[in-house]
Amino acid sequence: MTGTRGQRQVEAYRDDIPQRIPVHQQVYEDLRTRILFGELAPGQPVTIQGLVETLGAGMTPVREAIRRLTSEGALEFQGNRRVSVPTPDADCIEELIFARQALEPELALRATKKASAEDIDALEEIDTALDVAIARGDVGAYLHLNYAFHSKLYAIAEAPILTAIVDRLWLRFGPSLRVVCGRMGTQNLPDKHKETLTALRAKDGRAAAIAIRDDVVQGMEQVREVLEANTLSSEMIDT
């Protein structure tokens, strides 16, 4: 048996063999990150050839990345063969709030059961950096660290299917978060991360679930408000 799932037997040289990440994977991750953190604004069109030129990649890998992201709701078909970053409406936000509220407390609950002391330390470190970013008004850092906090919590919970679902939800409201910060700044952003950490240390799953639910609901309500203000103003422009 030549080692069914085994790791190659040659590698004697170094261990810095970069694991050969496929181009389509790189393109996917690059695009995903840009969408998640609002570098591509809602409504912005995304063309295959544009990415081929921008990224210097071939057409097939770009195509695969776009299909994947479309399937995840990060991009959407715009009628005939065009794709763009979607602009969520009020109904979408409604669904997102419900789904996050239904699933993320469970992830917090599971994380409470599995979290090691190191895990919680890592979370606290992220949250500390997050406070610094808020104080400095660094929107980019805030968005990255806020996602990092929740993402780490999902990882601790060890629930791959639920995590996959929730991760895809982030792709849908992520672009709007930057818009929210553009309107409201980083000062008045409420979060329940401190409460979450306290609950995790106390191994109080119920409290962690409630803290995360509050965090989610508060954040999404802000998205809803800003989105309503935006549609209102664009309606006034349209007419």
Partner DNA sequence: CGAGAAAATTTTTGATCAAGTTTGGGGCAT
Partner DNA sequence: ATGCCCCAAACTTGATCAAAAATTTTCTCG
Least separation in angstroms between CB 37 and a copy of itself:
20
Instruction: List residues binding DNA (CB under 7 A).
Output: 2, 8, 20, 22-24, 46-50, 57-61, 63, 79-83
Runs of H (alpha helix) within the chain: 23-36, 48-55, 59-71, 90-114, 117-136, 139-157, 160-184, 193-201, 205-238
* Contact in structure between 213 and 107 (CB atoms under 8 Å): no
Please name which of 3, 58, 1, 68 lies closest in space to residue 31, comparing C-alpha atoms: 68
> In sequence order, what are the residues at sequence separation of 6 or more whose Cβ sits closer than 8 angstroms to the Cβ of residue 8?
none
The least distance separating a copy of itself from the CB of residue 111, rounded to whole angstroms, comes to 14
Rounded to the nearest 5 degrees, what angle is found at the Cα of 194, between the Cα atoms of 95 and 158?
60
In angstroms, rounded to a whole number, what is the distance separating the alpha carbons of residues 239 and 189?
A: 33
Kindly list the distances between the CA atom of residue 59 and the CA atoms of 29, 48, 140, in Å, as whole numbers in the listed order.
Answer: 16, 7, 30
Least Å from the CB of residue 121 to a copy of itself: 26
Cα separation, 76 vs 46, in Å, equals 10
Q: Which does 42 bind (CB under 5 to 8 A by kind): a copy of itself, DNA, none?
A: none
| Residue 72 interface partner, choices a copy of itself, DNA, none, CB cut-off 5-8 Å depending on type | a copy of itself
The option from DNA, a copy of itself, none interacting with 95 (CB < 5 to 8 A, set by class) reads: a copy of itself
Q: Under the rule (CB under 8 A), what is the footprint of a copy of itself?
A: 5, 24, 60, 63-64, 67-68, 71-73, 79, 91-92, 95-96, 98-99, 102-103, 106, 159-162, 164-165, 168-169, 172
Nearer to DNA, 83 or 145 (CB): 83
- Cβ 207 to DNA shortest distance, Å: 44
- Contact partner at residue 122 from DNA, a copy of itself, none, CB < 5 to 8 Å by partner kind: none
